[in-house]
Chain A
Amino acid sequence: DPKIIQKPKYLVAVTGSEKILICEQYLGHNAMYWYRQSAKKPLEFMFSYSYQKLMDNQTASSRFQPQSSKKNHLDLQITALKPDDSATYFCASSQDAEYNNQAPLFGEGTRLSVL
């Protein structure tokens, strides 16, 4: 059974709309992350959270807003969607962000297509 659940698996959106990508982890981890994988690009780090606090934000746009309502949840709200936002968004988690030898484990991703 997957321990990091991302919903939905596929998402189609219209340009200018807003969507929320859901992520829940059942590993008891304290750190959660979002990464983006666009066509022909490597996985790109977006955000990290530790104990529900934002630790790092590497996205240039404020249209991307993470939301952590519970320790094991880290959703990603994307507003004013653009076709360039089309990508697969991966949620990941690790025991703690500051223990850098821990390999984050990844969810199955949400594939977003913006038309």
Chain B
Amino acid sequence: AQKVTQTQTSISVMEKTTVTMDCVYETQDSSYFLFWYKQTASGEIVFLIRQDSYKKENATVGHYSLNFQKPKSSIGLIITATQIEDSAVYFCAMRNTGGLSGKLTFGEGTQVTVIS
């Protein structure tokens, strides 16, 4: 069975600095996809970035980047030059390849608060 764990419950950072949050996962599959979403205070869930397990390069989109360490089953999210509007709950999620379910398994989330 798949499992995704985010151990950091909350993080506070100063505006314009960098924040890093952790995520570890468990899967029996050799190929899988990892996603990060954020949930704003209004409840909106927004897709941020994806990492394919077969790619060694870390994905980067805008000021979001990933630290993918496959041997450690770890996928960290890095947000650089943080802004107040980056305050949100960040969720890590995993999907295995194969099958037609499309199911995502989510972690518990990390609350990020950006302070001015």
Q: A and B, one complex? A: yes
Interface residues, chain A, with chain B CB atoms under 8 Å away: 31, 33, 35, 41-45, 48, 50, 55-56, 58, 88, 90, 94, 97-98, 100-101, 103-106, 108-109, 111
Do A56 and B102 touch (CB < 8 A)?
yes
Give the number of A-B contacts (CB < 8 Å). Answer: 73
Kindly provide the distance from the CB of B32 to the nearest chain A CB, expressed in whole angstroms: 8
The interface residues of chain B lying within 8 Å CB-to-CB of A33 are 102-103
Of the listed stretches B13-21, B39-47, B70-78, B79-87, chain A binds: B39-47
Please report the C-alpha to C-alpha distance between residue A94 and residue B32 in the assembled complex, in whole angstroms: 17
B45 touches A94 (CB 8 A): no
Q: Are B108 and A42 touching (Cβ within 8 A)?
A: yes
**A58: chain B residues within 8 A (beta carbon):** 103
Docked Cα-Cα span, A109 to B46, in Å, equals 12
Quick one: which of B32-84 are within 8 Å of A by CB? 32-33, 35, 37, 42-47, 50, 52
Contact A42 B107 (CB under 8 A): yes
Chain A residues contacting B108 (CB-CB under 8 Å) are 41-42
Closest residue on chain A to residue B101 by CB atoms: A56
Contacts of B91 in A (CB 8 A): 42-43
- What chain B residues lie within 8 Å of A111 (beta carbons)? 43
B residues less than 8 Å from A43 (CB atoms): 45, 91, 93, 104, 106
Number of residues on chain B facing chain A (CB within 8 A): 30
In the bound complex, how far is the Cα of B33 from the Cα of A42, in angstroms? 18
Given the complex, which residues of A lie within 8 Å of B105, measured CB to CB? 45
Give the interface SS of chain A, mostly helix, strand, loop or mixed. strand
Tell me which residues across on chain A come within 8 A of B93, comparing CB atoms: 43
Inter-chain CA distance A31–B104, complex, in Å, is 13
In the bound complex, do residue B102 and residue A104 qualify as a contact, i.e. CB atoms below 8 Å apart?
A: yes
Q: Which of chain B's residues has its CB closest to A94's CB?
A: B102
B44 pairs with A100, CB closer than 8 A: no
A11 → B minimal CB distance (Å): 14
B43 x A98 contact (CB < 8 A): no
Q: Choose among A31, A43, A98 the residue with the greatest number of B CB atoms under 10 Å from its CB.
A: A43
A3 to B: closest C-beta gap in Å: 12
Name the residue on B nearest A41 (C-beta): B108
B111: Cβ under 8 A from any A Cβ: no
